[in-house]
Amino acid sequence: MTEFEEIIEALIKFRDERDWQQFHDSKNLATAISIEAAELNELFLWKKTNDSETVNIERLKEELADVLSFSFLLAEKHGLNIKDIVLEKIKQNAEKYPVDKAKGTAKKYNEL
């Protein structure tokens, strides 16, 4: 069993013990990801760049775990392999952002 499979299995066990699958439709999972991402962003709100690097690590772990948990559940719901979709996205981004054009710049692919 891969680490991702182990995580998803634990999430499903937790969810199913509480009979929460009924609430985990795609819309609600996507909304939950967005809400948890906003809570993650809140940790950095109004901080200067240097201060943002010293954010409360326990809160960071909690909010990242929430974002990742709902993301794993949404991927599982649609039969998506997390490793495959992330590696495919990296490949797509490599084509959009070739090293010779994108290195050292934050410009979007259509601005390169």
| Domains of the chain, start order | 3-80 (1.10.287.1080), 81-112 (no CATH)
Q: Calculate mean pLDDT across residues 4-9.
A: 96
Query: From CA 30, how far away is CA 35, in angstroms rounded?
Result: 9
pLDDT tens by residue, 86-112: 999 999 999 999 999 899 999 888 888
Angle at 89 between CA 97 and CA 4, to 5 degrees: 145
Q: What local confidence, expressed as pLDDT, does residue 108 receive?
A: 86
CA-closest candidate to residue 31, choices 45, 87, 39, 13: 39
Q: Calculate mean pLDDT across residues 5-33.
A: 98
Structure tokens that stand for 112 in this block: 């390169």
pLDDT tens by residue, 35-84: 999 999 999 999 999 999 999 999 999 999 999 999 999 999 999 999 99
Q: Calculate mean pLDDT across residues 16-30.
A: 98
Q: What is the dihedral of CA 88, 108, 44, 70, to 10 degrees?
A: -30
Q: What local confidence, expressed as pLDDT, does residue 112 receive?
A: 84
Q: What local confidence, expressed as pLDDT, does residue 110 receive?
A: 86
Residues constituting the chain = 112
Whether 1 has a pLDDT exceeding 90, the answer reads: no
| Contacts for 43 with CB less than 8 Å, ≥ 6 apart | 55, 56, 59, 60, 63
